[in-house]
A = this chain, B = another copy of it.
Amino acid sequence: MREITLSKAVNEAIAEEMRRDDTVFLMGEDVAEAGTPFKVLSGLVEEFGTERVIDTPISEPGFVGMAVGAAMTGSRPIVDLMFGDFLFLVMDQLCNQAAKTSYMSGGKLNVPMVLRTNLGATRRSAAQHSQSLHALVAHIPGLKVALPSSAFEAKGLMKTAIRDENPVVIFEDKLMYNDKAPVPEEEFLLPFGQANIVRQGRDVTLVATSSMVQVCQKAAELLEKDGISAEIVDPRTIVPLDEDTILDSVRKTSRAVVVDEGHQSFGVTAEIASRIGEKAFYHLDAPVQRMGAMDVPVPFSPALEDLTVPTPEAVAERAGMICRGELVHAA
């Protein structure tokens, strides 16, 4: 199969859906000629024109609000939010408006919009350009949340997002834009709420989201050398969450480490770990381990930043410990 970058995968998904459906359009800062600072959208304005690929002023609350209204009236907007950190600016329009419209109107109105943005640290972009804020939106009923972990997922989930009748927030890992993966030429969509078993294993389940899937793949290789067989489950979407696949895996391996790049406290690892703790309780041979980003703003200095996110070595070490029963006394 051909291999393309994550960036190209997103671009293809959007282009295909825009060709298919005239009501789809794109808006955001420097999305047209510039194709975004990450160049993900290059070429789209040439094909679809400035009427459908719209450069906006630096007015995130404004254009997200407009997307909500456009979506309520027959359009399918895709909003580009340049950095995930800017979510804080649009929370009212996203969480008080978009998320609640279907429910508050008793199903009479709906908001089929996509907010595409990113996550991920270690790019030396400091505290306001490095956050992974997907847990926040996942907490708000009415929003779906997709976390593609490779070019393949990026394409398949984006197409599904655009066709969904609800607001979907899709977080791309900004460090992965140039990473290549096999992506079919033929059209395909990936369903929401269906986890992917990235790697089969017997001894421990690594539940990994987005950027952490690669980290866990490397961790699994390290573990392999120690004779530990790790299974990796990538939920792909955290709302809806495919609890069954995760639980089945843990019931099989009896051990779990949940790895996510958001801050650890009150984040995604808590949700998944507590569901495992509750629903696979009698199958667990060791306490479920959580590995999120440190509970600190992301520091600029390379000497500090790299300490804040889970690494393959750290994941392998932690998984190794529970497999060897070394964390007994801590609990």
The answer for the CA separation of A95 and B290 in the assembled complex, in Å, is 23
Please tell me which one of the listed residues B95, B265, B269, B286 contacts residue A138 in the complex, with CB atoms under 8 A apart. B265
Which of A86, A265, A282 gathers most chain B CB within 10 Å?
A: A265
The answer for the CA separation of A37 and B263 in the assembled complex, in Å, is 36
Q: Which residues of B contact A188 (CB under 8 A)?
A: none
| Contact call A297/B266, Cβ cutoff below 8 A | no
| Contact call B127/A104, Cβ cutoff below 8 A | yes
Q: Is A17 an interface residue (CB 8 A)?
A: no
Q: Which residues of B contact A239 (CB under 8 A)?
A: 265
Q: In this complex, what residue of B is CB-closest to A275? A: B270
Q: Count of A residues near B, CB < 8 Å?
A: 59
The answer for the CA separation of A268 and B128 in the assembled complex, in Å, is 24
How many copies of this chain does the complex contain? Answer: 2
| Contact call B266/A268, Cβ cutoff below 8 A | yes
Q: Is A299 an interface residue (CB 8 A)?
A: yes
| Contact call B265/A269, Cβ cutoff below 8 A | no
Question: Which of the segments A117-125, A139-147, A174-182, A193-201 contacts the partner chain?
Answer: A139-147
Q: Which residues of B contact A103 (CB under 8 A)?
A: 127, 296-297, 299
Please tell me which one of the listed residues B104, B241, B278 contacts residue A287 in the complex, with CB atoms under 8 A apart. B278
Q: Which residues of B contact A128 (CB under 8 A)?
A: 96, 100
Q: Is A51 an interface residue (CB 8 A)?
A: no
The answer for the CA separation of A269 and B104 in the assembled complex, in Å, is 25
User: What are 15 A-B residue pairs whose CB atoms fall within 8 Å in the complex?
Assistant: A88-B96, A89-B91, A89-B92, A103-B127, A103-B296, A139-B265, A141-B296, A239-B265, A270-B270, A273-B274, A277-B277, A277-B278, A278-B289, A281-B286, A281-B287
